């Protein structure tokens, strides 16, 4: 379920997500957004709405360093705090001593990160990235749209429209925020 799109444009991070809540053959357009701002960070989650609720209401974002780049902070301090929060709130699993959580995007101070389900931190070479069941459709749309001078919010909306046209687990309305 889901499509989250992050885009960095002129030092600002933009993020958009759909509203689908999916269970096998049932899709429900939810009111609670998958994209939100917390502690001056932009989050967009996939997987479970419970994970999003934990990120939005229970996760205490550790104080970032005064200046970027923030990759080392994300790989160490941020992830350590995230794993602790997920463990405390019973949203983590272990397979052969390997931790698993969920996938989401984080935007901060002009940088965009993907937190994968195994807690690795990814940074895309392109100024955009996607996650969720519609990620491949969205990446293709963002690639095509990157060739045109279109406002970032419009670009994300068009990519979400293209994704929802072909991916049965993505639906309107969309939430698009920037920071």
Half-sphere exposure of 23 (CA within 13 A, CB side): 5
∠56-115-144 over CA atoms, to 5°? 105
Phi and psi at residue 109, in whole multiples of 5°? 45, 50
Q: What residue numbers bound the domain in which 9 lies?
A: 4-178
Q: What is the pLDDT of residue 93?
A: 86
How large is the average pLDDT for residues 21-31?
Answer: 90
Residue 121's DSSP bridge partners are 115
| In the block, residue with structure tokens 């999003």 | 52
Average pLDDT, the chain: 96
Predicted TM-score of the model (pTM): 0.95
Kindly tell me the sign of the dihedral angle through the C-alpha atoms of 104, 114, 110, 57.
Answer: positive
Q: What is the pLDDT of residue 123?
A: 98
How large is the average pLDDT for residues 55-73?
Answer: 96
Please tell me the total count of domains within the chain. 1
> What CATH number is given to the structural domain containing 64?
3.60.20.10
């Amino acid at each position: 379920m889901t499509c989250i799109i992050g885009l960095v444009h002129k030092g600002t991070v933009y993020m958009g997500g759909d509203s689908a809540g999916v269970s096998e053959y049932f899709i429900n357009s939810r009111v609670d957004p998958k994209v939100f701002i917390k502690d001056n960070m932009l989050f967009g989650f996939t997987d479970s709405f419970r994970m999003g609720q934990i990120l939005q209401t229970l996760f205490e974002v550790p104080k970032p360093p005064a200046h970027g780049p923030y990759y080392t902070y994300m790989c160490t301090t941020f992830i350590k705090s995230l794993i602790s929060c997920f463990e405390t709130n019973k949203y983590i699993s272990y397979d052969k001593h390997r931790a698993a959580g969920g996938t989401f995007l984080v935007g901060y101070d002009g940088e965009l990160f993907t937190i994968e389900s195994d807690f690795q931190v990814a940074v895309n070479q392109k100024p955009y990235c996607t996650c969720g069941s519609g990620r491949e459709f969205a990446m293709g749309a963002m690639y095509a749209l990157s060739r045109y001078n279109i406002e970032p919010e419009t670009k994300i909306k068009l990519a979400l429209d293209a994704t929802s046209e072909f991916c049965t687990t993505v639906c309107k309305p969309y939430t698009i925020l920037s920071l």
